[in-house]
Amino acid sequence: MKLTKISLSMAACLVNTQLYATVELDTVHVKGNTKSVLSGKYEFDQKNLTTKLQANSNVSDALVSLPSVRVSNNKNGNTLGEIAPQNISFHGERYYNNNFMLNGIGINDNVNPIGLGEDSLLKSDMTKTIDSQYMPAGHPQAFWLSTDLVDTLEVYDRNVPSQYGNFTGGVVNAKLKEPDFKRASGSVSYRTTRDAWTKFHLEGQYKNEFYRANSPLLQPKFTKHEYTIQLNQPLTERSGLLFAYSRQQSSVPQHQQYLHKWTNRYRRNETLLASYKNELNENNRLTINGIYSTHQADEYLENAVDGRFRLSGGGFLTNIKWENYNVLGLLTSELAYRNNRNQTKYDSDTLYRYTKTKSIDWISDPNTGEATKGGIGKRYTQQQSLQLKQNLDFNKFEIGSTIHEMSAGWEWQQNTSRLKQPKLAKQYAGAADYYKGEVFNIENCTYCIPKEQYFKYRVHYLPIDGKVKHNRFASYLQDKIVWNNFTFVPGVRFDYTQFTRKWNIAPRSYIDYNLLGKDQTHLIAGFNRYYAGDLVDYKLRSAFNFEDHYNRESYNSPWELDRSILHIAYKGSKLKTPYSDEINAGISQKISNSLWTFKWVQRNSKDQFMTQIDSDVKPQQRWLSNSGRSKHNTFSLEIESIEPIDLSFMALKWQFGVAFNKSKTNQTNDYTQRDWKDYGITKMLHKDKLQSIEYLPARNFNTPWKGYLQLESYFPSLNLNWAQRINYESSSKDYTFKGFRCTSEKSVCNNYEGLVARVYETAKPRHITLDWFFNWKKELGQHKAFSVNVSVLNVLNRKLLANKITTDDENYYQTYRAGRQFWLGAKYEW
């Protein structure tokens, strides 16, 4: 039930009566993705989100068609068994600088958002070797939410209201489903795909390599399932409960080449939602939500016995929201608590590197003759956040000939992040099966296999416990001023962050001119500043402990400490808060039954985090700096039907979008990269032209042109919805950067002498694909229905080039994107 405000003039006549009346309105779906004209807000309702023209049902994949969004250039058909949300970049900004929210509460990973990398994949080195200074792998989104649980998805990519902070990219707010007081209801749904329903494009030697599946990044076999159940129960006419459970799981077998066996790697992402809502009276509403959302993936040390380790993430989030309609307006007060962790846990806390003998009948590495067994225990990062915030949306009021809609608010966060390895982990190496020139045949030995071998070296990975407090406070004010045909929205946000110990002031504003006052033509322009969130990665890494290395002379000698090693010492530093200045302009025009919108957005980002390194000291020292900078321009055109076209046999809606993006940056990877100037490099050689190193071309998320055409048809006589989308991506480029010595004798150097960065580029061809989604629905009586849906991705099975996988300096494998893939789903609702 919705609370609708009575006009101010009416309220003035009813000072001592109720200010708000309850009016029930049906949901109106105006367009495929309704938005405030030009303002920068997209809004997707559940009806839009169920049109699954994507593979995995997560928030990121639902947004890839937006003009401002780019995805990694490296996606291919090798890892279709994964369920992690793909990373997205708004306007070329870093993929880890977005603000993802659930019901207005941030769910960002501020510890290690780059843990799974640009492609949301575990780095293959994690399965090949042991890194004592690893951080448990994180993801920009701490909770991987299924779109099946989302009621409304709000996306801001420009002119972001002052209510939102902690980002330099975009804001994505998923509003979860809430109880319905009308009647008891529910639904059960299921969706699946597998390798047998997928076409792979492979060629040459790589085809054999792919089907051998000796690497975790080669997944010729997989099976995916998605389940959702929702139960809604009214308690009274004004209160109700909602329970929902969503689960995504995948099985991805991998072959262990030297163990001569297959291991099953499982992925699982599940969310349990409980929501209680009570309209206490006509002016007060209470909502309580509890969310338990976790994800996990099983991996294996390659060719190691008992080498399984589990990556897990997610946690618990709860919030209490009170909405109070009073004489000033709508006051929303909210208290939220969040507790989540990323963890890497091996089945064993001791790693053994044997040599092959009678009882050790396997080999992990034929080059060294080692036979590996076990792991190195458990390590996790944890984020705890207690948040209190209030927002007041004032009633409309008039000053002279202007109408004002003001809002103001504040928020306080108590944040604690932690890195912990609870127990000592050990590694035994240097296995010897000979002693004094003879085969080892001694039974009375220590740290050995009697009569076979004994260990000569041992490493202790000492426990770790690091904690960082990074509290935040913010306040904001915004006003929407309407005068004649002008709408001016000024705002400002004040932030204090304990992480940088800085106060930041972020102005927000845009102006909209309704040409001729007929709501047909709108002109808009805006200027905004956005400040990034915290990044406590290096502060927690400063808690890394030493490794104690021991050795011994013989099979029963005591261990003697040889040395203690700390490979890299991370330390804190005095930092500024990264920020991005935005300028945007646009025009929208209604033509007949269509809305045309053209926009330009420029982001100029400064003080971005990068890494500085001092290699002259032992151990090597690393710390964050503010030397990152970038500049991005996005031009886009969107056209869509305002109302469905009603034909005799079907209703048709359509959308079209095309966008161009150009980005330049000195930060070609992420915050772990050094500034080129630290190497004494101030110039780059690109296309045989000597230029400043200030702005290199973006290495990833850099597709210049993208576009789509989407048609949604409904055939009433068949109860059938058919959505089809044509996707277009222009040719993009892969860039590599290498040092190059310029001398006056080299003509391309233009008499410049010194070290420069030479830019090499490889062009990729354009991509055009067609996707289909069918949904057939059969009504089974009052409020009951059964539906079947089919998604067909890359309908024409086009062979699309993807990235190259290099094996050495000269050889590489060419990969391709996935061919045609089918998804099948069903849903029963009552």
Q: Taking all residues of the chain, what is their mean pLDDT, rounded to a whole number?
A: 92
The mean pLDDT value for 382-404 works out to 97
pLDDT for res 750 = 87
Partner residues linked to 473 by β-bridges: 412, 496
Q: Which pLDDT score, from 0 to 100, does residue 622 have?
A: 95
| Residue 288 reports pLDDT greater than 90 | yes
Higher-pLDDT residue of 71, 573: 71
The type of residue at 384 is Q
Average the pLDDT over 375-396 and give the result. 98
Q: What is the number of structural domains in the chain? A: 1
Q: What are phi and psi of 207, to 5 degrees?
A: -60, -45
d(CA 210, CA 201): 11
Answer yes or no: are the C-beta atoms of 83 and 296 closer than 8 Å. Answer: no
Separation between Cα atoms, residue 30 and residue 643, nearest integer Å: 7
Average pLDDT over residues 500-518: 95
Sign, CA torsion 690/693/695/700: positive
- Mean of pLDDT values over 315-335: 98
Give residue 328's pLDDT: 97
- Count of residues for the chain? 830
Q: Within a 10 A sphere around the Cβ of 462, how many other Cβ atoms?
A: 15
Q: Locate tokens 């045309």: which residue? A: 596
Give the residue from 54, 32, 55 showing the smallest Cα distance to 44.
32
**DSSP strand E in 24-81: where?**
34-35, 41-45, 69-71
CATH number at residue 777: 2.40.170.20
The b/e string for 673-689 (b: 16+ C-beta within 10 A; e otherwise) is ebbbeeeebebbbbeee
Average pLDDT (245-250) is 98
Which pLDDT score is estimated for 809?
Answer: 55
Terminal CA-CA length for the chain:
20
Instruction: Tell me the pLDDT tens digit for each residue of 169-214.
Output: 999 999 999 999 999 999 999 999 999 999 999 988 889 999 999 9
Q: Output the pLDDT for position 32.
A: 37
State whether residue 660 is helix, strand or coil. Answer: strand
Report pLDDT digits (tens) over 520-549.
Answer: 999 999 999 999 999 999 999 999 999 999
Q: For strand 171-176 and strand 99-102, is the pairing parallel, antiparallel, or unpaired? A: parallel
**What DSSP state is assigned to residue 676?**
G
DSSP 796-826: T----EEEEEESSSS-EEEEE----EEEEEE
Residue pair 162/477 in contact by the 8 Å Cβ criterion: yes
Q: Could you read off the pLDDT of 20-44 as tens digits, one per residue?
A: 333 332 333 334 333 464 788 999 9
Tell me the pLDDT tens digit for each residue of 55-94: 899 999 999 999 999 999 888 899 999 999 999 999 999 9
Q: What is the pLDDT of residues 471-482, one digit of tens each?
A: 999 999 999 999
Q: What is the pLDDT of residue 595?
A: 95
**Cα Rg of the chain, angstroms:** 29
Residue 503 is part of which domain span? Answer: 2-829
pLDDT in tens, 633-669: 999 999 999 999 999 899 999 999 999 999 999 888 8
Taking a C-beta distance cutoff of 8 angstroms, is the pair 296, 312 a contact? yes
Residue 314 binned pLDDT confidence (cut-offs 50, 70, 90): very high
Q: H-helix or E-strand containing 199?
A: none
Contacts of residue 21, Cβ cutoff 8 Å, sequence gap at least 6: 3, 4, 6, 282
Instruction: Give 583-645 as a DSSP string.
Output: EEEEEEEEETTEEEEEEEEEEEEEEEEEEEEE-SSSSEEEEEEEEEEEEEEEEEEEEEESS-E
Nearest to 408 by CA among 161, 614, 649: 161
Q: Are strands 683-686 and 239-256 parallel, antiparallel or unpaired?
A: unpaired
- Quote the CA–CA distance of 277 and 290 in Å, as a whole number: 12
Question: In whole angstroms, what is the distance from residue 826 CA to residue 211 CA?
Answer: 31
In this structure, the dihedral spanned by the alpha carbons of residues 168, 37, 64 and 602, taken in order and rounded to 10 degrees, is: -40
Please classify residue 510 by burial: count the beta carbons closer than 10 Å to its beta carbon, then call 0-12 exposed, 13-18 middle and 19+ buried: buried
Share of the chain above pLDDT 90, in %: 81
pLDDT digits (tens, 9 = 90+) for 712-769: 999 999 999 999 999 999 998 888 888 899 998 888 898 899 999 999 988 889 999 9
Return the pLDDT at 694. Answer: 82
336: nearest Cα among 350, 322, 358, 321: 321
Burial 772-802 (b: 16+ CB within 10 A, else e): bbebbbeeeeeeeeebebebbbbbeeeebeb
Residue 458 CA to residue 134 CA, distance in Å, equals 19
CB 732 within 8 A of CB 766: no
**3-state secondary structure at position 544:** coil
Q: What is the mean pLDDT of residues 559-583?
A: 94
Asked if residues 88 and 64 have their Cβ atoms less than 8 Å apart, the reply is yes
Q: What is the pLDDT of residues 586-595, one digit of tens each?
A: 999 999 999 9
Place of tokens 């709860």: 318
| pLDDT at res. 10 | 34
Q: Is the pLDDT of residue 263 over 60?
A: yes
Q: Which amino acid is at 263?
A: T
Amino acid making up residue 330: L
Q: Where is average pLDDT lowest: 188-202, 247-261, 328-342, 683-697?
A: 683-697
Amino acid 735: pLDDT: 87
Nearest 5°: phi and psi at 471?
A: -75, 160
Closest C-alpha to 349, from 378, 373, 310, 372: 378
pLDDT-wise least confident of 49-58, 281-290, 312-321: 49-58
| Distance set, CA 635 to CA 91, 454, 600, 601, 705 (Å) | 10, 67, 5, 7, 10
The first and second tokens of residue 338, run together, are: 């969040």
Residue 431 one-letter amino acid: A
pLDDT surpasses 90 at 516: no
Per the CB < 8 A criterion, the answer to whether 686 and 697 are in contact is yes
Dihedral sign (CA 695, 700, 705, 708)? negative
pLDDT at 565 over 80: yes
